[in-house]
Structure formats: structure tokens, C-alpha cells
Amino acid sequence: MTNTNLTRAAVAAMVDHTLLKPEATRADAEATVAEGLRLGAYSICLSPSMLPIDTGAAKTCVVAGFPSGKHHSLVKAAEARLAVDTGADEVDMVIDVGAAVDGRYDEVFADVLTVREAVGRDVVLKVIVESAVLLDAAGEDCLTQVCRRAAEAGADFVKTSTGFHPAGGASVRAIEVMRAAVGPNVRIKASGGIRTAEFAAELIAAGADRLGLSGTRTVLAGFPE
């Protein structure tokens, strides 16, 4: 695999172990929690309808405005606040990607700020920007501007992807652009299409601080004990 000093435990501590399939059942969510705890994942990322749920020693992460981002900002804010009130520690919200492609960056800022204010400062807020779409449709400057506006609005993380868009998921290029945009004070979550240890290691080397994985066990198996 890619040359790295990362251990399996160290990478697991960067993972949001994720189940967001629309057909997922309560039993599936409970199994995902159990697997994430066995693997040492940092958090368990679920749909908000799965709350309340006991994630044990792991953080509880939910999504808002998922997966399209086309929800009204107030709806995203209400969804996020309800999730926090029912046990969420972290919220991954989706921006209006079309607004970003159009260059309506003030709307992106307002969208993020609305959710930030709804959940408060103690909740970790990750902002999903669909980096593959922005890079393909509008280029690196668009991705840069969106990440900067998200950071200005109070995002703790900018996140590559929902994993549901046909344009694709995380990429090394996206992580590099995002890191250059937000500097060291805002973290980056890579998600979407991360299926091997080699790719995970490349994303971490490029600047990713957190990984969103559904196939966590397979990815971690490629790192040394």
C-alpha cells in the first residue's frame, strides 16, 4: 500500500463510520454502531431519523439537507437543531450546490450561518460542498470561494461530498484546493468513494483530517496494526 506511518488505530480515530442508505432500518443503524465501536471509529454518521440512538464511546453525527442541499435554510436549521436536541454531537449539512455553481456565494454563506446559529458553537458543523461538481462545473476558484465563505460562516469542517452525486466523491485535487482555501484553522472531511487504504492515505497526505467511510473495515484492514 501507499507508504505511510499511519496505524490502523490512528486512522480509525479519524473515521466517521457511515450509514446513510435510504433503505436502512433501525436494525441496520444499530449494527453500524456496533461495528463502528469495534473498529474504534471516531463517530457514527447516520440519518437524523435514526435518533435518538446510543453510540457509546463514539460521537453521534447526522446529516442535514441531505443529499440534495435544496432544502430551505430554515428547514436545514430546524433539522439540525432537532438532531442536536435528540443527541447529535456533529452535523454534516449540504449547501445549495446550484447557488455555488452560479457564484452566489453570499447565499452559501447565509445558508451555513443559519445552521451554525441554530446548533450553537458547541456542535461540530461540517459543510458538504460536492467538490466534484464544483470542480467540474465551475473550477477551482468556485471551490475555493465556497470553502472560504463556509469558513467565514462558522464551519468547523468543509467536506467533499455526500457520496450520492454522480459527479463523484473525494479526490486528492479537491482536498488540496480545499486546504489551500481554508488554511490550518478549518478542518477537512473527505468522503465519497473511499474504498481502499491507499486512497485514504493519499487523501490524508493531501490534508484530510476526517474520513467518511461506509466500508470502514476494508479500508482499515490495509493499514498496519
Burial 181-194 (b: 16+ CB within 10 A, else e): bbeeebbbbbbbeb
5 — pLDDT class (breaks 50, 70, 90): confident
Does residue 3 have a pLDDT over 60? no
2 — pLDDT class (breaks 50, 70, 90): very low
Q: Is residue 61 part of a domain?
A: yes
Q: Which of 16, 76, 92, 96 is catalytic?
A: 92
- CATH no. for residue 141? 3.20.20.70
Q: Is residue 78 part of a domain?
A: yes
Domain, as residue range, for 141:
16-222
* β-pairing verdict for 43-46 and 15-19: parallel
Share of the chain above pLDDT 90, in %: 98
Q: Is residue 9 part of a domain?
A: no
> What is the mean pLDDT of the segment spanning 97-110?
98
Can you give the pLDDT at residue 131? 98
Can you give the pLDDT at residue 1? 42
Q: Is residue 21 among the annotated active site residues?
A: no
Q: Is residue 175 part of a domain?
A: yes
- pTM, two decimals, is 0.96
Can you give the pLDDT at residue 98? 97
Q: Is residue 10 part of a domain?
A: no
Q: Is residue 126 among the annotated active site residues?
A: no
Q: Is residue 31 part of a domain?
A: yes
The average confidence (pLDDT) of the chain is: 97
Q: Is residue 92 among the annotated active site residues?
A: yes
Q: Please name the amino acid found at residue 195.
A: R
Q: Please name the amino acid found at residue 86.
A: T
> What is the SS3 assignment for 143?
helix
175 — pLDDT class (breaks 50, 70, 90): very high
What total number of domains does the chain contain? 1
